[in-house]
């Protein structure tokens, strides 16, 4: 790609917002290039609590617009990607000294009715002495509520948006840093550098989108040379993963004495996800790691409720991400708005620069629509929005159709065990058959790295999903890093290195 080729849009950042904007824009007829300095979903977008939710606690801060938009999006995304989004039920135990019972009931009534819920079941009261959900809890917890939200495989949501954008004509460049960008003659001139090879290319674009997440301020000043103060507040959120503590499939939302809430969610069939924390963060977001204090805090928070205490020794994995929240002047990190703010820098006859602050994974699609509305005056004749009724790749089946898809996959590929079939459907949906292709036995799937991961699936991820390193496969395209041993991980890394050396780059 040289100086002769002019793009409509250059998007910086391959997280959920950048990929969502790229997908929306290319579907409206724009010529789009996206550049991500690392892997897709390599930072904040793979470090969430993995919920598509309205945000029950945001009602306390009167963020009704955000909550309503997010509640509506639950079912939009459930229909668009039922392989990676599915319904959950959350149990909220109640005891003396917490938010009053009538206040909680009112909040949950609003939660049920603000978003036009059609698929998800409503809130109900729960007798924890009789309901199985009470069994793992301490005996003094005898009543609570149960309400609905949704799960999302966050990193796969990002990859599927990128895949759909590419299928529609966008160019997706990973491991590619935008080193500099300058305005000249009403056009952005950007220098892109491949982080692996060092190769440099020049890209011209009519508009620049800064969706760099926690690096949004660095891109504004250091890349684009814009002196507008970056009102970004970096807040670190950490999670821990333990072995599963209970047999049922419901989640818990616990109220902590400090006013925060903590989730406990069944995770990857055999594990439990616990989070999150809210801590102010300074420094390079790439270095964010959970602290001993955060681990102790999360263990203590859930141990207030569970009969069986959770200790740091129970933690099998942890992760941290930095949320780039818009600085609205809130005094505490947990109170800072999760709403998104879009800032357009475009003087007379200047090429526009749109910067994205804040946001949450649930509302990424609406954020993309809002971004296109901001840019629309610069693109006369722009096609209307379209993503509200469009499936993501592999999501073209009914919202509750995953079990039937698993059965069909096992009929077509009888050598596949049920557990592997479930995972393949949950990752690829209707495209699982493309991953397996013409295989008639496990031997046809090539080298096995453990936990059902085979060379054929890795080849697909390298070819179709921009996977380059073993961590891309083990921790973002999947969570098989929890199951595959060190020998299997080393074999995977060796296989991927050899495959790339032999055939050149993965999907472009």
Q: What is the pLDDT of residue 1?
A: 40
Whether pLDDT at 148 is above 70: yes
Q: What is the pLDDT of residue 506?
A: 45
Q: Which residue has the higher pLDDT, 173 or 330?
A: 173
Say if CB 431 and CB 394 are below 8 A apart: yes
Kindly report, residue by residue over 407-434, the tens digit of the pLDDT. Answer: 999 999 999 999 999 999 999 999 999 9
Lowest mean pLDDT, pick from 168-182, 315-329, 418-432: 315-329
Q: What is the pLDDT of residue 100?
A: 85
Say if CB 137 and CB 129 are below 8 A apart: no
Say if CB 146 and CB 127 are below 8 A apart: no
Mean pLDDT calculated for residue range 25-35: 98
Taken in order 36, 42, 43, 49, the sign of the CA dihedral is positive
Q: How far apart are CA 280 and CA 282, in angstroms?
A: 7
Cis peptide before 276 (omega within 30 of 0): yes
Q: What is the pLDDT of residue 498?
A: 97
Mean pLDDT calculated for residue range 24-37: 98
**Reported confidence tier of residue 63, pLDDT bands at 50, 70, 90:** confident
Give the length of the chain.
508
Q: What is the pLDDT of residue 442?
A: 97
Q: What is the pLDDT of residue 184?
A: 94
Q: What is the pLDDT of residue 59?
A: 85
Mean pLDDT calculated for residue range 72-79: 97
Q: How far apart are CA 116 and CA 87, in angstroms?
A: 16
Tally of CA atoms within 13 A in the half-sphere of 291 that contains its CB: 10
Whether pLDDT at 331 is above 80: no
Whether pLDDT at 259 is above 90: no
CA distances from 257 to 237, 254, 302, 336 (A): 18, 10, 11, 19
Mean pLDDT calculated for residue range 61-88: 93
Please give the structure tokens belonging to residue 174.
Answer: 């990973």
Q: Structure pTM?
A: 0.96
Please give the structure tokens belonging to residue 65.
Answer: 């617009």
Whether pLDDT at 2 is above 70: no
Q: Which residue has the higher pLDDT, 271 or 324?
A: 271
Q: What is the pLDDT of residue 226?
A: 85
**Checking DSSP bridges between strand 6-12 and strand 32-35, what pairing results, if any?**
parallel
Q: How far apart are CA 44 and CA 307, in angstroms?
A: 33
Q: How far apart are CA 180 and CA 104, in angstroms?
A: 50
CA distances from 394 to 157, 169, 211, 417 (A): 11, 18, 25, 21
Kindly report, residue by residue over 455-488, the tens digit of the pLDDT. Answer: 999 999 999 999 999 999 999 999 999 999 999 9
Say if CB 264 and CB 302 are below 8 A apart: yes
Q: What is the pLDDT of residue 120?
A: 96
∠ CA 114-116-117 to the nearest 5 degrees?
A: 105
Q: At what angle do helices 64-80 and 364-375 cross, to 10 degrees?
A: 110
Whether pLDDT at 338 is above 80: no
Q: What is the pLDDT of residue 300?
A: 97
Q: Cα 353 to the chain's mean position, in Å?
A: 24
Say if CB 188 and CB 481 are below 8 A apart: no
Whether pLDDT at 139 is above 60: yes
Share of the chain above pLDDT 70, in %: 95
Q: For tokens 């994205």, what's the residue?
A: 356
Q: For tokens 């993965």, what's the residue?
A: 506
Q: What is the pLDDT of residue 384?
A: 97
How far is it between the farthest Cα atoms of the chain? 71
φ and ψ at 313, to 5 degrees? -70, -20
Q: What is the pLDDT of residue 99?
A: 81
Whether pLDDT at 176 is above 90: yes
Q: How far apart are CA 475 and CA 451, in angstroms?
A: 14
Q: What is the pLDDT of residue 369?
A: 98
Whether pLDDT at 101 is above 80: yes
Q: How far apart are CA 204 and CA 453, in angstroms?
A: 40
Kindly report, residue by residue over 276-302, the tens digit of the pLDDT. Answer: 999 999 999 999 999 999 999 999 999
Q: What is the pLDDT of residue 3?
A: 46
Q: What is the pLDDT of residue 330?
A: 64
**Reported confidence tier of residue 508, pLDDT bands at 50, 70, 90:** very low
Q: How far apart are CA 213 and CA 170, in angstroms?
A: 20
Select from 77, 104, 95 the least CA-distant residue to 20: 77
Q: How far apart are CA 344 and CA 353, in angstroms?
A: 6
Taken in order 151, 155, 159, 162, the sign of the CA dihedral is positive
Please give the structure tokens belonging to residue 272.
Answer: 């439990």
CA distances from 2 to 5, 202, 204, 335 (A): 6, 6, 8, 46
Counting other chains too, the contacts that 374-381 makes at CB distance below 8 Å and 24 or more residues apart are: 374/342, 374/344, 375/9, 375/25, 375/207, 375/209, 375/344, 378/206, 378/207, 378/346, 378/352, 379/8, 379/30, 379/206, 379/207
């Amino acid at each position: 790609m040289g100086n002769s080729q002019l793009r409509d849009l250059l998007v910086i950042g391959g997280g959920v917002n950048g990929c969502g904007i790229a997908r929306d824009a290319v579907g409206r007829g724009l010529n789009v290039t996206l550049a991500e300095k690392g892997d897709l979903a390599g930072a904040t977008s793979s470090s969430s609590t993995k919920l598509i939710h309205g945000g029950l606690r945001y009602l306390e801060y009167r963020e009704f617009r955000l909550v309503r938009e997010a509640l509506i999006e639950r079912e939009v995304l459930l229909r668009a990607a039922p392989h990676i989004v599915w319904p959950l039920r959350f149990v909220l135990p109640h005891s003396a000294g917490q938010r009053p019972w009538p206040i909680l009931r009112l909040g949950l009534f609003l939660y049920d009715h603000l978003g036009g819920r059609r698929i998800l079941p409503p809130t109900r009261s729960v007798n924890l002495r009789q309901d199985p959900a009470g069994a793992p809890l301490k005996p003094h917890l005898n009543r609570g509520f149960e309400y609905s939200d949704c799960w999302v495989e966050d990193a796969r949501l990002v990859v599927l948006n990128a895949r759909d954008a590419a299928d529609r004509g966008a160019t997706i460049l990973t491991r590619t840093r935008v080193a500099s960008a300058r305005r000249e003659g009403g056009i952005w001139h950007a220098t892109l550098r491949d982080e692996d090879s060092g190769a440099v290319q020049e890209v011209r674009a009519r508009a620049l989108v800064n969706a760099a997440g926690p690096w949004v301020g660095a891109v504004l000043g250091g890349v684009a040379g814009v002196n507008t103060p970056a009102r970004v507040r970096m807040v670190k959120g950490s999670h821990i993963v333990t072995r599963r503590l209970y047999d049922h499939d419901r989640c818990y939302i616990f109220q902590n004495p400090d006013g925060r809430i903590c989730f406990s969610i069944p995770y990857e069939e055999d594990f439990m996800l616990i989070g999150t924390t809210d801590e102010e963060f300074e420094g390079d977001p790439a270095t964010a790691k959970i602290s001993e204090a955060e681990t102790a805090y999360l263990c203590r928070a859930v141990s207030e409720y569970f009969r069986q205490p959770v200790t740091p020794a129970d933690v099998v994995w942890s992760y941290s991400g930095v949320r780039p929240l818009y600085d609205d002047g809130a005094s505490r990190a947990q109170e800072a708005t999760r709403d998104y703010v879009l800032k357009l820098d475009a003087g007379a006859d200047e090429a526009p620069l749109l910067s994205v602050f804040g946001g949450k994974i649930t509302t990424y699609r609406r954020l993309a629509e809002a971004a296109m509305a901001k840019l629309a005056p610069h693109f006369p004749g722009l096609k209307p929005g379209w993503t509200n009724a469009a499936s993501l790749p592999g999501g073209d089946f009914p919202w509750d159709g995953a079990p039937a898809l698993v059965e069909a996959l096992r009929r077509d590929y009888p050598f596949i065990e049920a557990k592997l079939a479930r995972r393949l459907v949950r990752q690829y949906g209707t495209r699982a058959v493309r991953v397996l292709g013409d295989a008639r036995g496990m031997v046809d799937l090539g080298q096995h790295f453990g936990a059902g991961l085979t060379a054929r699936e890795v080849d697909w991820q390298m070819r179709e999903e921009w996977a380059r390193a073993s961590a891309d496969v083990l921790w973002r395209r999947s969570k098989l890093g929890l199951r595959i041993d060190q020998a299997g991980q080393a074999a995977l890394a060796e296989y991927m290195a050899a495959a790339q050396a032999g055939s050149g780059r993965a999907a472009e």
